[in-house]
Amino acid sequence: MKPDWDKLMAAFASSTTQLVGDVDCTAEGKPLCDANGVKGYPTIKWGDPNALEDYKGGRDLKTLQKFAEESLKPVCSPANIDLCDPDKQADIEKFSAMSDSDLDSAIKGQEKVIEDAESNFKEEVSKLQATYTALSEAKEKAAEDVKASGLGLMKSVRAHNQKSAGKDEL
3-state secondary structure of 53: strand
Q: Is the pTM of this model over 0.75?
A: no
Question: In total, how many domains does the chain have?
Answer: 1
With respect to residue 13, please indicate whether it lies within any of the assigned structural domains. Answer: yes
- Output 69 or 135, whichever has higher pLDDT: 135
With respect to residue 85, please indicate whether it lies within any of the assigned structural domains. Answer: no
With respect to residue 105, please indicate whether it lies within any of the assigned structural domains. Answer: no
Dist. CA 73–CA 36, nearest whole Å: 20
Domain residues for 13?
Answer: 2-75
With respect to residue 114, please indicate whether it lies within any of the assigned structural domains. Answer: no
User: Is the alpha carbon torsion for 80, 58, 34, 21 positive or negative?
Assistant: negative
With respect to residue 108, please indicate whether it lies within any of the assigned structural domains. Answer: no
Model confidence pLDDT, tens digit, residues 84-117: 999 999 999 999 999 999 999 999 999 999 999 9
Domain of 10: which CATH number?
Answer: 3.40.30.10
